[in-house]
Structure 1
């Protein structure tokens, strides 16, 4: 465990009514315990100490911090057979000068347990548990009311329930419903589960062609503590990777060979180019750039290279000069920096003419590259290395890119539509930097740019149910877009209103549907990617750069199962070629071939900072089907689907996907 201390101070200039009058300066972490800590409750005790109770596995343990020295002591274990998160209070029964410590925690076999420590007796003995209640709560909240009785709220899958005691803590009464919600139906809402603990913050996430996930960022010691992990979605195992370069704040995407290419990073690696080898599980420095790349975007290109766009030359965000250039990396090395026009757009003000950090970038079937920054969209032609005259402005008046980022998705490319490209923009902050603050609401709006429409222009589509900033948007095998996480207000560094609800966007009907929820707030420095089995992995949210009360590192990995995984049997891929050539037909073994309604290739994605850098969905035409076999047609060229590894999915008529099979497109 670790302890942080915050001290409030007055704001020097509190004239802005949207700015709170006090800010909190945090120090820490001070580490004082180890082990599998699953919940903590902290109080100020009667002896001038801080007192904490933590759940360690299936046990409860007590710790205290001396007020005079700041030294932590413990653990002092006093209970077992617990589950969920405990709550603790300092109670003052009559005739008990030093009072009692009261602890309530869910029990692993159901119901609740109540323990009491007598602070007036020799040795401070614990007694209990007094068992009461029912169900399987995941967490509890406990307080002492003005008339000396205890009040308890439990958090459960179906809502919240209330219990109370007689004065002094005798005889629990309840449960009494406080908030009830209908039981979720997985075929309608999906389901979420914790699948692992990474031991670090998964700020950057990439699905590799081995089926494993590479996570990298920093550990609990801060941004100097570069770390990376490998998570296996099949076994659930987490493996540390050492040494790890300082590649936090980089851009990354898989190259044509299946290596994870990483441009830039932090500290001394801001000029570096790295690759990660999935087979050897090793980082390798492969070059450098003349100008630094902090917060750049990377995307795979036709021909097998990776395009690097933007970023800043030094760490530091708005105060650092922009690296206003493009750069193409191939296995032969990095090409020259190609300047981006200044101003990037006629819609940019003279005081901020450069492209922003983490722009949204997508190679199009036309061969051009869409680049969106702030409120402007332009197109770059790799063949001529020129920008065309098109300069489009969004309908929404504020930026949907960093630091008030929403998200952007190249929607499915379908042969029946001639691989017509459409790009979706969602969410974002309701103000411009530097006026992004805690109370500024995020937008619910969404826009689509149809590259086949005349005149070419952004248009509003149906809005989301929830405003979001710093959200993730993931293309699913059924062609829908899953949106999760983010905050309902603020921006990158000050989002304190987490959105737990998950939404689905149907590009065919342009309709939104709210489905289930995720379990944990996923704010700044979270990530989400599609897994081969059709689940969506959710990771990250750092501690140092998120405000109170979310000023803690999130190590938990969560997997969301979309509703399609609960709608019936899945098609099975019994066999598929390891390599597919452009324009060729290829066989796919499938015992349920007659029931397959669609097939698609999805590129394994890389995500960070609410930017999904190489997300791509290409539908495949079904040329024929026989007993136990389909014949599919590969994409026509690398402009539709750049070279590299893809996940092949088959879908039933109900939109239920197979488990994805990795193939390599050449």
Structure 2
């Protein structure tokens, strides 16, 4: 007689049968689940992490989650995450602007009062360790078909030769036909100029009838008070300013006020963020409003502000300006046009290299050629040899380590605007050559826009994220990472991130040698491009293989100076002198929109004693601009120390 299995065994058998049946009915899902489980097991293995590194998602409390548009490492070791309105029209309308300060050492967070909408501003590191933040958003774009009130540029003219005139936001301009328009921002118009053209008469006085007055002008965006076709005009006319005495001397001139698409508009505001007080400090505003500007620190500590959309939504035509941190004021810089967020790198000798990388706005056929810009002479020398030159928008650029080699690299990119094009091309230029030009480097695994690129203490470049399509269209985020080694001109694979990063994403090196990634603003959340995208608020941190291999046995720098002059030597105590092989000064990042012109790695001379190392800092300010730096030493196995912060005044 055959005995039936016990009740428990029968249940297990029947359960197992159910699993087999379900697996048969839904085999792809079961296989996918099994693959995911195996992948999670594999990437957690110590051997895998020693070869490829590992990723960890930071637990950010809900009240501190933010749309990180900008990220900057401060010399306190904390990371400033700036959102402003965060590409959120409702937050802009309500005046809700966000900044979060993250301490990666203990994963704590702090909200920072944010006085302006710094969404799409520019930023740069100052010599004293403060962060300059300039520009931002005065108005969100309104797309074709959604504009209800006619608007456009009003040119305000001042014929008064005695004084400048400031018109507050909300000033009303009336057309000859009685249609009223309201200004969207404050506008200041300089005083008019008088040119004497006659001869002296009588007792030496100039004949007033022989002078010519030239009106001063400034632009402001205006919008009709009411909806409807009455506000539309393409005819030039003079507009009176309501409620103003002496209206004959100050008036508006407009030619085209329409319901066509209205672009984002910039602001003139500038602030310094004080890392010690952890607050924004207002400084003099810029002369031009800027949205999407690049700020680049020069060898004398001044900061050049370039490009951006102005107060009426046009690309600033070439009026660049300089910020002096000693006086906290702006002055005119050399005139040159660039599309928004151009990648400009300070090179040896003081010239700026424009790699052609940029983000967002500007004519397709203007200002996109790579070249060397001599600021003193204001001359621009084009540089050739770049493959896929029509796919530089949203590409990444870095000054390869060490800075003394004067090699720069461009990674990926795409076509202008919403182009479906993306390229796997990388290109390298060696400025130490007598006639430099770009050459192709090793290709990325696939065409990639918005790639993040971070200089590492061992002279490699860590790249991660990006997407094949514009703003991650069709779920095209690239969940890959790799290291580029300038010595071998090759890529090696790294562990794959779990979080996709495309438009409005950032990555930077932390003082402990890890890499933090932030942000991402996909246009859609589904492959069919039918569901609007959700901004990525998670922070993901990468730990490189060398840190897994070294564990707690990393080289340690001990007591030493906090200030090191350019061209000087500095000695630091260490018990690990015998195994230390390199020393690097690494400038902290200030990154947005794939643009990080601050980061650079400078090789230091190294002399080893029994219980100390002495480093020699180059005296060339174009290699080592003034400011705070992370000092890393690396051992023979490629393991870096934790950074020691030093200031080069």
Instruction: Give 1:493 shift.
Output: 7.2
Aligned to 2:409: 424
Cα distance in 2 for partners of 1:147, 1:386 equals 71
Aligned to 2:138: 267
The within-5 A match list for 1:627-666 is 627-666=610-649
Which one of the candidate residues 579, 592, 599 is aligned to 1:595?
A: 579
How many angstroms apart in 1 are the aligned matches of 2:278 and 2:611?
37
Q: TM-score, normalised by structure 2?
A: 0.69
- Aligned twin of 2:153: none
Q: Which runs of 5+ in 2 are unaligned?
A: 1-14, 140-265, 358-367
Q: Work out whether 1:381 is the aligned partner of 2:374.
A: yes
Q: Is the 1:601–1:617 Cα contact (8 Å) retained in structure 2?
A: yes
- Specify the alignment match of 1:159 in structure 2: 35
1:46 matched residue in structure 2: none
Contact 1:405 1:491 in 2 (8 A): no
Once the 2 structures are TM-superposed, how far is the Cα of residue 619 of structure 1 from its aligned partner?
A: 0.8
The alpha carbon displacement at 1:420 in A equals 3.2
**CA distance in structure 1 between the partners assigned to 2:24 and 2:544 by the alignment:** 47
CA displacement at 1:339 relative to structure 2 = 4.8
Structure 2 residue 333 is matched with structure 1 residue 338: yes
Matched-pair contact (CA < 8 Å) for 1:186–1:566: yes
In the TM superposition, residue 620 of structure 1 has moved relative to its aligned partner by: 0.5
Q: Secondary structure at the match of 2:495?
A: strand
CA, structure 1 residues 618+151, in 2 after alignment: closer, same or farther (shift >3 Å)?
A: closer
Moved more, 513-522 or 145-154: 145-154
- 2:322 matched to which residue of 1? 328
CA distances 1:312-370 after superposition (whole Å, capped 9, x unpaired): 21486xxx3334233211121343333544xxxxxxxxxxxx42111111111212111
User: Quick check: 1:540–1:554 contact (8 Å CA) kept in 2?
Assistant: yes
Match of 1:204 among 61, 67, 70: 70
Alpha-carbon distance in 1 for matches of 2:563, 2:127: 12
* Alpha-carbon distance in structure 1 between the residues aligned to 2:40 and 2:100: 39
Aligned residue for 2:446?
466
Shift of 1:616: 0.7
Does the 8 Å CA contact 2:69/2:86 hold for their aligned counterparts?
A: no
User: Bigger radius of gyration, 1 or 2?
Assistant: 2
Matched, 1:450 2:439: no
State how far apart, in whole Å, the 1-side matches of 2:99 and 2:608 are. Answer: 44
Q: CA deviation at 1:514?
A: 1.3
Task: Write the distance in 2 (CA, Å) between the matches of 1:386 and 1:243.
Answer: 36
Report how far residue 494 of structure 1 moved: 4.1
Q: Do structure 1's residue 397 and structure 2's residue 388 form an aligned pair?
A: yes
- How far, CA to CA, are the matches of 1:658 and 1:604 in structure 2? 16
CA distance in 2, matches of 1:208, 1:232: 10
Change (3 A) 1:378 1:336: farther
**Contact 2:290–2:309 at 8 Å: present in 1 too?**
yes
Report the CA distance between 1:215 and its aligned residue.
0.2
For 2:23 and 2:103, locate their aligned partners in 1 and report how far apart those are by CA, in whole Å.
Answer: 51
Change (3 A) 1:563 1:254: same
CA distance 1:507–1:539, change in 2 (3 Å) = same
RMSD between aligned residues: 2.9
For residues 30 and 131 of structure 2, the distance between their equivalents in structure 1, rounded to whole angstroms, comes to 46
Using the alignment, how far apart are the partners of 1:151 and 1:391 within structure 2? Answer: 54
1:564 maps to 2:528 = no
SS of match in other structure, 1:303: coil
1:440-487 Cα shifts (integer Å, max 9, x gaps):
3x2111101100123311111111223210111000111110111110
Equivalent runs, 1:75-86 vs 2, <5 Å: none
- Distance in structure 2 (CA, Å) of the matches to 1:155 and 1:267: 47
Tell which has more relative contact order, 1 or 2 (C-alpha 8 A, sep 6+): 2
Q: Which residue does the alignment assign to 1:496?
A: 475
Conservation of the 8 A alpha-carbon contact between 1:400 and 1:426: no
Alpha-carbon deviation of 1:515?
A: 1.0
Q: CA deviation at 1:413?
A: 3.0
Are residues 148 and 235 of structure 1, via their aligned partners in 2, closer, same or farther at CA, if it must alter by over 3 Å?
same
SS of the residue corresponding to residue 295 of structure 2 reads strand
Compare the two structures and name the one with the higher helix fraction: 2
Deviations 1:115-149 (A, max 9, x none): xxxxxxxxxxxxxxxxx99xxxxxxxxxx999998
Q: Hey, what's the Cα distance between the residues in 2 that align with 1:283 and 1:315?
A: 26
**Structure 1 or 2: more strand by fraction:** 1
1:336–1:160 Cα change, 3 Å: same
Q: Residue in 1 aligned with 2:194?
A: none
Q: In structure 2, do the counterparts of structure 1 residues 548 and 659 end up closer, same or farther at CA, with 3 Å as the change threshold?
A: farther
Report the equivalent of 1:410. Answer: 399
Residue 335 of structure 1 aligns to a residue in which SS?
A: strand
Q: Aligned-pair distance for 1:159?
A: 2.8
Aligned ranges for residues 72-151 of structure 1 at < 5 Å? none
Matched-pair contact (CA < 8 Å) for 1:470–1:491: no
Secondary structure at the aligned position of 1:612 is classed as coil
Residue 380 of structure 1: how far off its partner (Å): 2.5
Stretch moving more, 260-269 or 452-461: 260-269
CA distance in 1, matches of 2:424, 2:411: 7
Equivalent-residue separation in structure 1 for 2:459 and 2:74 (angstroms)? 21
Whether 2:287 is the aligned partner of 1:308: answer no
1:641 Cα deviation from its structure 2 partner: 0.6
Instruction: Report how far residue 542 of structure 1 moved.
Output: 3.2
Structure 1: gaps of 5 or more residues: 1-131, 134-143, 162-176, 342-353
Alpha-carbon distance, 1:621 to partner? 0.7
Aligned mate of 1:626, from 603, 609, 626: 609
- Residue 169 of structure 1 corresponds to none
**1:636 to partner: Cα distance:** 1.3
Query: Does the CA-based 8 Å contact 1:400-1:407 persist in structure 2?
Result: no
Aligned ranges 1:465-484 → 2 under 5 Å: 465-484=445-464
Name the residue aligned to 2:280.
283
Does residue 538 (structure 1) correspond to residue 409 (structure 2)? The answer is: no
Q: Does 1:193 align with 2:56?
A: yes
Q: Deviations over 1:39-66 (max 9, x none)?
A: xxxxxxxxxxxxxxxxxxxxxxxxxxxx
Deviation at 1:632? 0.9
Aligned mates of 2:272, 2:299 — CA distance in 1: 19
Query: 2:320 touches 2:332 (CA, 8 Å); kept in 1?
Result: yes
